[in-house]
Structure 1
Amino acid sequence: MEPIKITRTGYTVEVTVGAKPFTTFNFDPKIAKAYLQPVRDADGAVVTRSFPDMDVVPPEHEHDRSLEPHQRGMYFGHGDINGYNFWAEETFKKYYGHDVSSNYGRMVFRKIDEMHGGPNSGKLRATFDLEGPDQKAFAQEIQDYTFSGDKSTRIIDCEITIRAGKQLVKFGDTKEGTFAIRLAPELDAPQGTMVSSEGGEGEPQIWGKRANWVNVDGTIDGHELGVAIFDHPKSFRHPTYWHARGYGLLAANPFGLSYFLRDTKQDGSYTIPAGESIHFRYRLLVHKGNYKEAQVAKQYDDYAAHP
């Protein structure tokens, strides 16, 4: 593994691997949720979509098919937490065609709890409040990231904890969520190819299905590469369902059962009692070559074996 350096400037944290830029954590209180963007591979190719920057959609992209401007680089958000929408964002509602929510939530930055580099990995942990339109916090969100990489891979281990305050916190059953990355357009279908741990290929065989991991391969700047999300066995409701789209969205969503199973009798919602927590654990892997060459299945097994 290569040395990691982590540097904060204002409301951004820059992460480098072996002196090469890897990713930037953006947590400005002016935006509705924190996100990592851009995310690069070991050769410097950017694997995430290049926008929005803060709350700005470039004019040349305003009419993009499947724009979904709230789908930032890599982020955690859910479309129904206590009835508030933490997936879509109020600032982008003019792009939705209709107002998808009258109750938008916000993730509000409170503090950096831990931040340091190291010879083999680096650590970043930040705390946020979850607030409804009344700007009153009803839960805390702790985002915990461990960064690492070598000559051919880049890794972000992600642990997200939602801690209820004095009232219960309910994650509603919706397909709009939850741990997600919006990929660069070069990785969109058909030029980008999506596979799952269960042998699924493409959106029709992966969307709404359960799997340990999903990987998207493609070519950016002449480099053949892939991006995978791993769902750890100790993560909530493992193996997760996937809200994975051919237009570049790759998201683990353990809540949207009525949508994924196409059965309104199913209820994937979950309620956190007051004072208690829910824990999610994922890994983002960016690798050279396709998923077979990168031995993604073996890399998942190694990841899953860690307690």
Structure 2
Amino acid sequence: MKTNGKLPVYVAGFFAGFCALLMPVMPSFGAGFEWQKQDKAVGLMKDGKLVWKFNYDSKLAPKPFFHPVAVAGGAPLTWQSPPDHPWHHALWFSWKYLNKINYWEPNKEGVPDGATEWSNVKVDTRPDYSARIEMDLQYRPQKAEKPVLTEKRVVVISAPAADGSYQMDWAMAFTAGAEDVKLDRTPIAGQPGGVPWGGYAGLSVRFARELKDVRVEATADKGKFENQRYGFSATATDYNGVIDGGEAGLAILDHPSNPRHPTRWYAIADPKQPFWYINAAFLQLEPYVLPAQQTITLRYRLIVHPGRWTSEQLEQKHKQYSSEPATQLK
């Protein structure tokens, strides 16, 4: 059959009709996503539901935080300011003690003895629904004028994948002021002044009370589960459970350049309250003294995902994270 290089009319018509049938079921990139921009808050939405939201209004909380944090299209995995610990701010970073001053929780007057302040917040939201957040932070005793510690923070958030997962790459550079800074925590049981609930400080997640059938996975042995807590060293951990009828989790990966890598982890899994919590606790076993004018950098990758991850999956994700260029602070 001669066609002069062209499809016969009936073949071309069939092909065009077939393509037309396919087109309605082929989603466009980013379908259903939109940015929500408010005064001192930025969030990503999927079909009218928040995927994540970054809040940096000091009138709302004494630290900047993310809430909600969810698999795209899913239920929130985080809990902001729960009644049992109102100073838990969903996904947030907080020191416990700097030179014996408490920056973690409020005093009797309702404010922490140590003030966490921030400025120069820049949020770059992109057309592909990824984002980059930059900010400067200062840490000082409430009655002091000069900070004992300053921080440059960058959080790079990927666009959600087809399964609703995405990652947050945190990079934080802390520089001591004119004097050494002792980064400390409440001692753990078995140490002088230690308590069963000691050992936490740093990057933390307080999970939603609706989370059920909670499991903690890691790339190394988690050790004993005592007082509803784990304390262990690993390159990565995954905190997961069932929420709104589906399995979902949040993994945290420790960058190999971090001090005391592989880091310690502090995990609470108490269904009675309920109390679901994970902390990248590099101070868990002992404090860290940062010399005057010196800098320490902490990097973590958080991955919000559907399903439950195995230790093998965590190993694979950590290997990938370790091989990629580190998030730059400039």
Q: Under a length normalisation based on structure 1, what TM-score does the superposition of the two structures give?
A: 0.79
Structure 1 stretch displaced more, 14-23 or 140-149: 14-23
1:161 is aligned to 2:178: no
Tell me what 2:161 maps to.
Answer: 150
Unaligned runs of at least 5 residues, structure 2: 1-28, 187-198, 270-274, 326-330
**Mapping of residues 1-307 of structure 1, within 5 Å:** 8-16=37-45, 21-30=50-59, 31-49=61-79, 51-52=80-81, 62=83, 67-90=84-107, 104-113=113-122, 115-119=124-128, 121-136=130-145, 137-148=147-158, 149-152=160-163, 153-174=165-186, 175-187=199-211, 191-200=213-222, 203-204=225-226, 207-246=230-269, 247-257=275-285, 268-292=286-310, 295-307=313-325
- 8 Å CA contact 2:92, 2:203 repeated in 1: yes
Instruction: Pick closer, same or farther for the CA change 1:90–1:111 going to 2, 3 Å.
Output: farther
Instruction: Pick closer, same or farther for the CA change 1:114–1:225 going to 2, 3 Å.
Output: closer
Query: In structure 2, how many angstroms separate the alpha carbons of the residues matched to 1:89 and 1:297?
Result: 38
For residue 92 of structure 1, report the CA deviation from its aligned partner: 8.7
- 8 Å CA contact 2:68, 2:90 repeated in 1: yes
For residue 130 of structure 1, report the CA deviation from its aligned partner: 0.9
Query: In structure 2, how many angstroms separate the alpha carbons of the residues matched to 1:304 and 1:122?
Result: 21
- 8 Å CA contact 2:36, 2:44 repeated in 1: yes
Larger relative CO (CA 8 A, sep 6+): 1 or 2?
1
Query: In structure 1, how many angstroms separate the alpha carbons of the residues matched to 2:225 and 2:105?
Result: 22
Query: In structure 2, how many angstroms separate the alpha carbons of the residues matched to 1:22 and 1:193?
Result: 22
For residue 203 of structure 1, report the CA deviation from its aligned partner: 4.1
For residue 29 of structure 1, report the CA deviation from its aligned partner: 2.4
**Structure 1 residue identity aligned to 2:184:** G
Query: In structure 2, how many angstroms separate the alpha carbons of the residues matched to 1:139 and 1:125?
Result: 17
Q: Aligned to 1:297, what secondary structure does the other structure show?
A: helix
Query: In structure 1, how many angstroms separate the alpha carbons of the residues matched to 2:174 and 2:35?
Result: 25
May I ask how many residue pairs the two structures share in their alignment? 273
**Structure 1 residue identity aligned to 2:276:** G
For residue 293 of structure 1, report the CA deviation from its aligned partner: 10
- 8 Å CA contact 1:155, 1:286 repeated in 2: yes
**Structure 2 residue identity aligned to 1:176:** Y
- 8 Å CA contact 1:229, 1:285 repeated in 2: yes
For residue 104 of structure 1, report the CA deviation from its aligned partner: 1.9
Q: Aligned to 1:167, what secondary structure does the other structure show?
A: coil
Query: In structure 2, how many angstroms separate the alpha carbons of the residues matched to 1:7 and 1:278?
Result: 34
Unaligned runs of at least 5 residues, structure 1: 94-101, 258-267
- 8 Å CA contact 1:83, 1:103 repeated in 2: no
Q: Aligned to 1:295, what secondary structure does the other structure show?
A: helix
Instruction: Pick closer, same or farther for the CA change 1:185–1:91 going to 2, 3 Å.
Output: farther
**Structure 2 residue identity aligned to 1:143:** R
Per-residue displacement from partner, 1:141-183 (whole Å, max 9, x unpaired)?
2221011121221211111221222222220243131110001
Structure 1 stretch displaced more, 107-116 or 145-154: 107-116
Largest Rg, 1 or 2: 2
Q: Under a length normalisation based on structure 2, what TM-score does the superposition of the two structures give?
A: 0.74
For residue 103 of structure 1, report the CA deviation from its aligned partner: 6.5
Tell me what 2:6 maps to.
Answer: none
